[in-house]
Amino acid sequence: MGITFDEAVAQVTVAGGQFEVGDAVVNGAHQRVFVNAPSNLGFFFQLARPEATFLVYEGETYTFGQVRESFAALGAALIDRYGVQKGDRVAIAMRNFPEWIVAFAAITSIGAVSVSMNSWWTGDEMDFALRDSGAKVLIADQPRLERSLASCAQLGTRMIAVRMDSPPPGADAWSDVVVPGTPLPVVDVRSDDDATILYTSGTTGRPKGAVSTHGAVIQALMAFSCRAAVERIRQPSEPTTHPTAFILIVPLFHVTGCVPVMLGCFAGGVKLVIMFKWDVDKALEIIEREQITNFVGVPTQSWDLVQSPRFAEFDTSSLRDIGGGGAPAPPALVAKVADSFASGKPTIGYGMTETNAYGPGNRGHDYTEKPTSSGRVVPIMEIQIRDGNDEPMPVGGHGEIWFKGPNLIRGYWNRPDATAESLVDGWLRSGDLGRLDEEGFIYVEDRVKDMILRAGENVYCAEVEAAIYEHPSVHEAAVFGVPHERLGEEVAVAVLLKEGSTLTADELRAHVAIRLAPFKVPTYVVFRDEALPRNASGKMLKRELQREHTRS
């Protein structure tokens, strides 16, 4: 009989060890924490050997030493040239470039707050986030910079242009700002200082800025490492000569790309290979050439990988973990991954922006035995299932999933109302419905929130509806999700037009596309001749619409 999960956790979290667990007060609530955690993220940026390869991108290679030199120079420039002080916000808006990682390390090393801008956003969405966060500087590539020029001019936000030969007036070139050899200024950064703002789609029409401290991000990082240590004891991999190497196939502006993947590689001295954009055949080439061991993405990407007609042409034997999170994976995918790789094991994680991506995880034998479960957690996190009165339920009870841990955000930027609604006495209301079994495995079964999960992107229906209602021809609109084999869900809308008005599906999509990111634009549009269904209290019956319009 192999070692149990609890026995492995006890071994890994032993007193005096790296993952020793104790009690502390975090954001006013008593929490279980890793007591040997460093005080700020800068500790992790200095761990790896300087000559070791860190980033590989489209033929470019950077060592840890080169990245440190760059972020030291940028950190100095932010202070000396742009007057950035501790607590000031600095926004990053670009695709997955090496400069994104350099910028993040520089910002957080000097005690400023890194504001992650979704690279799909329209100019209107970027304008909102710049105003909402009060960003002092925007570091952006060409498309994002061009969308933000007018906003930055109005707000007085300074701009640093990434990978642009001729920046527009008012923007400084990265090469002029980042002067190699400039030392990083020493700033006293503490665990309760803010580190990041990551915007989540808004339930009421605008996104919310989820704020995490250095301590919260660090506790999440250590929790991922702790769980990996537990799994090495319980489910050891076959001996391999391949050093750990990740492929970056999810956006850095998302918490998964930022915390467990990018920061995890920074902290572990691990090579990170950045894809320009997702392309399954290109990914297979990179896995073989760079001997990738860890593939972390959304289920859509795992499907693409194992179903590629060219899959057998490439050597994928280096892979040890294949999976990620962002959406539940169908059991058929779990089985397919388990059968398709020589040593690779299927994995899934259930985390949120609000948990710094950390949450229950399932891997290997556990996952194939319980393919509909998102797994279990290590000791710093607690999970409860609560009923409609917010009271804990017994094992097997179905209710809302609540999380507690030092890895939670401290709140939403300038949104005390939203903070009070989501965070209660150190607990986070997930907005998901599910149950726990007798072994502590969580099963996510439904949502409380009116939300669509499209290829790992959260789409809040109210935000899309708010944009649709701006069209003068729309009388009623209800946005809902319909199943999609590859994406998980796609965005659908039922519309009742004002009497005498006309509107086509393409015209409606064009209207929304001006206001919202492409992944929020409805794919499936249906016009109705009668009022949309409502209950006695006037609430829209979206479940009824969903059943009626789900494609067979």
Query: What would the pLDDT profile of 166-198 be if each residue is shown by its tens digit?
Result: 999 999 999 999 999 999 999 999 999 999 999
Q: Select from 180, 212, 244 the last residue of a domain.
A: 212
Q: What is the percent of the chain where pLDDT is above 70?
A: 97
For the chain, the domain total comes to 2
Distance (Å, whole) CA 270 – CA 50: 12
Mean pLDDT along residues 14-27: 95
Strand partners, 484: 488
Predicted pLDDT of residue 258: 97
Q: What is the CATH number of the domain that holds 196?
A: 3.40.50.980
Residue 18 has pLDDT above 60, yes or no: yes
Least confident of 87-91, 260-264, 352-356, 462-466: 462-466
Do residues 547 and 492 lie in contact, with contact meaning Cβ atoms separated by under 8 Å? no
Residue 45, phi then psi, degrees to nearest 5: -70, -15
Tokens of 108: 């957080």
Tokens of 511: 């209207």
Q: Select from 183, 212, 241 the last residue of a domain.
A: 212
Q: Select from 177, 212, 247 the last residue of a domain.
A: 212
| Alpha helix ranges (H) inside 370-442 | 416-422
Least confident of 45-59, 211-225, 352-366, 464-478: 464-478
Per-residue pLDDT band for 441 (boundaries 50, 70, 90) equals very high
Whether 138 is covered by a domain: the verdict is yes
Do residues 531 and 464 lie in contact, with contact meaning Cβ atoms separated by under 8 Å? no
Which residue matches tokens 């799994």?
231
Whether 413 is covered by a domain: the verdict is no
Least confident of 245-249, 369-373, 451-455: 451-455
Whether 479 is covered by a domain: the verdict is yes
pLDDT digits (tens, 9 = 90+) for 445-455: 877 778 888 88
Average pLDDT, the chain: 92
Predicted pLDDT of residue 204: 56
Least confident of 96-100, 200-204, 240-244, 280-284: 200-204
Do residues 363 and 321 lie in contact, with contact meaning Cβ atoms separated by under 8 Å? yes
Whether 171 is covered by a domain: the verdict is yes
Q: Could you give the C-alpha distances from 258 to 122, 384, 400, 424, 547, in angstroms and in order?
A: 22, 27, 27, 26, 36
Residue 443 has pLDDT above 60, yes or no: yes
Per-residue pLDDT band for 274 (boundaries 50, 70, 90) equals very high
Which residue matches tokens 């800068």?
42
DSSP summary character for residue 262: I
Which residue matches tokens 């240590």?
229
Per-residue pLDDT band for 203 (boundaries 50, 70, 90) equals low
Q: Could you give the C-alpha distances from 176 to 74, 164, 351, in angstroms and in order?
A: 10, 11, 39
Q: What is the CATH number of the domain that holds 489?
A: 3.30.300.30
In 3-state terms, what secondary structure has residue 534? Answer: strand
Q: What is the CA radius of gyration of the chain?
A: 23
Whether 196 is covered by a domain: the verdict is yes
Burial class, 204, CB count within 10 angstroms (exposed 0-12 / middle 13-18 / buried 19+): exposed
Residue 1 has pLDDT above 50, yes or no: no
Whether 530 is covered by a domain: the verdict is yes
Domain residues for the domain of 492 are 451-549
SS3 of 139-194: EEEHHHHHHHHHHHHHHCCEEEEECCCCCCCCEEEHHHHCCCCCCCCCCCCCCCCE
pLDDT digits (tens, 9 = 90+) for 65-112: 999 999 999 999 999 999 999 999 999 999 999 999 999 999 999 999
Whether 521 is covered by a domain: the verdict is yes
Whether 465 is covered by a domain: the verdict is yes
